[in-house]
Amino acid sequence: MKLANVVFYLADTARLWFDNNEDDFTNWAAFQESLEKTFCRIEENRRQAERLLQTRAQLPGESSESYIQDVLSLCKRVNQSMPENEKIAHLMKGINEELYQILLVQDYSKTKDLVERCRQIENLRRRRITKEKFQRLPNISATSSGLEEDDLKSLVRTLVREEIQRFLPKVQDLQYGLESTADVASIVRDEVMQALSPLSTPQRRNTAPIRRSAPAGLQQRRIQRSNAAPPRKTDV
């Protein structure tokens, strides 16, 4: 009876296939087998699902629910009676790193328990208030409250270069020997610290300016010149 009425439920290519092979359908079982071989391609679909399952991983921005349901669908296509531990293994190997680290601390024997735990984590994540990192506008310099480590390093390097370039010509014009390069380093260091002081500590009001002493060689020359007696008219 079923074989006699099935023709009314077929259309297009399936109806042509039935008309061309109707003589081969001796019973309902033979019809089912021929139908599956022609249109279902069960084994080919199973192999394709197996390939997808081996490489399936949660995509960026994809929810855990979407990933889990897709993996479970692939598991069913590969093996309708797949054990629970295999399903869990397939789910764990492709889930995102954050969820993986949380789920790793507990053993799951049933798929529904793992799915429920993922839903709880997703709900908690949605409720969490996150603060997005401030994006600095182009051509806007950083303030003292928003400086990052790389910005501070770059600023220090720039200030040191400027101070050295400004200071070295003065040293060459004085034509005296410094006792050591430590004098130059200390002066440059003081200039840099003074330039950075508004960024590191609040600026103090009504503070006297810092007076720096000249190098020892320059002080000695000034003392000798001040102690020298003025020339007499009879010496000329």
Q: Where exactly are the structural domains of the chain?
A: 3-40, 46-134
What angle, 0 to 180 degrees and rounded to 10, lies between the N-to-C axes of helices 149-174 and 182-200? 140
Average pLDDT taken over every residue of the chain: 75
Q: For residues 188 and 193, what is the distance between their CA atoms, to the nearest angstrom?
A: 9
Query: What is the DSSP secondary structure assignment for residue 26, as one 8-state letter?
Result: -
Say if residue 171's pLDDT is above 90: no
Give Cβ neighbours of residue 87 (< 8 Å, ≥ 6 apart): 71, 72, 75, 111
Mean pLDDT of 67-88: 93
The segment with the largest mean pLDDT, out of 63-67, 194-198, 207-211, is 63-67
Half-sphere exposure of residue 235, counting CA atoms within 13 Å on the CB side? 4
Mean pLDDT of 34-43: 78
Question: In this predicted structure, what is the pLDDT of residue 141?
Answer: 53
pLDDT at 50: 92
Whether pLDDT at 236 is above 50 = no
Cα separation, 52 vs 44, whole angstroms: 13
- Give me the pLDDT at residue 59, please: 93
* The pLDDT of residue 203 is above 90: no
Q: How far apart are CA 114 and CA 101, in angstroms?
A: 13
Taking the C-alpha atoms of residue 179 and residue 217, their distance in angstroms, rounded to an integer, is 7
Task: Report which of 17, 18, 14, 13 is spatially closest to residue 4, judged by C-alpha positions.
Answer: 18
pLDDT band at 19 (very low <50, low <70, confident <90, very high): confident
Instruction: Kindly tell me if the per-residue pLDDT of 216 is higher than 90.
Output: no
Instruction: Return d(Cα 141, Cα 60) in angstroms, integer.
Output: 33
